[in-house]
Amino acid sequence: MTARMIDELPACPVETTLLLIGNKWQVLILRDLVLNGTMRFKELQRSIGSISQKVLTSNLRAMEESGIVHREVFAEVPPRVEYSLTELGLTLKSVLDALWDWGLSYQERVKRSHSERR
């Protein structure tokens, strides 16, 4: 992260977190790298589903620039590129766990509410 980026961080910690992982694709990239560890680009694209190559690339670059994702290029033919979470990226697991727990609770509540109306 550059000095300019550090100076531009929001004062609010929640806003800072959302700046780093505030879109659906970044959260899904985080989810898959937490669950699977190191992944190649196409593996990540397949596991996420309906994400385009362009969108995945731009989100991975942003996450790499912020220090959350590590990109490793292997000098092979064809070149092999692997992505993993950095030590800093791994600290977001608790955030992801909280999102998982809340989403599960919400799903159960909605299903229960729906079945009670029948």
Q: Read off the DSSP letter of residue 75.
A: -
pLDDT for residue 57: 97
Nearest to 34 by CA among 81, 95, 80: 95
**Residue ranges of domains in the chain:** 3-117
Q: What percent of the chain has pLDDT over 70?
A: 95
Q: What is the pLDDT of residue 7?
A: 78
Instruction: Indicate the pTM of the whole model.
Output: 0.86
> Which region among 3-7, 18-22, 104-108 has the lowest average model confidence (pLDDT)?
3-7
- Top CATH class of 3-117 equals mainly alpha
37: left (phi over 0), alpha (psi -120 to 50) or beta: left
With a cut of 90, say whether residue 4 has pLDDT above it. no
Q: Which helix (H) or strand (E) holds 88?
A: helix 87-90
- Is the pLDDT at 1 greater than 60? The verdict is no
Give the separation between CA 15 and CA 21, rounded to whole angstroms.
Answer: 10
Per-residue confidence (pLDDT) for residue 103, from 0 to 100: 96
Name residue 25's amino acid: W
pLDDT of amino acid 36: 97
Count Cβ atoms below 10 Å from residue 113 Cβ, excluding itself.
9
- What does the CA dihedral 98, 103, 109, 110 come to, rounded to 10 degrees? 160
Q: Two tokens at 57?
A: 């690339």
Q: Do 83 and 38 touch, CB atoms closer than 8 A?
A: yes
